Amino acid sequence: MKLFGKKNPAWKENPSYSALHARVYSRRGKATKCEICGKTTGKIEWASTGSLKDVSKYKAMCASCHAKYDKDIKNLRRRKK
């Protein structure tokens, strides 16, 4: 079991991102509807909106909303620093 959290120097790279996503899929099933725009076609994926470890904090998003969301988050983080 790898260490999670900010103490892990590799935290920013999210080395266990896919493993955590696999956990979301097993707990919540396949993402079928984008919670942002309501789209049900195309690629819908789970996006973390809080702690990566908290399965309940994941939202189903289509690829375009997910990309936009990730971009907004990165901008927010950049502004904070």
Strands (E), 18-71: 44-48, 58-62
Residue 39 binding Zn ion, by CB under 5 A: yes
Least distance (Å) from Zn ion to the CB of residue 10?
A: 30
Among 20, 34, 47, 52, binds Zn ion (CB under 5 A): 34
Contact region for Zn ion (CB under 5 A) — 8-16, 20-28, 32-40, 67-75? 32-40
Is 49 exposed, middle or buried (CB count within 10 Å of its CB: 0-12, 13-18, 19+)?
middle
Among 3, 37, 67, 73, binds Zn ion (CB under 5 A): 37
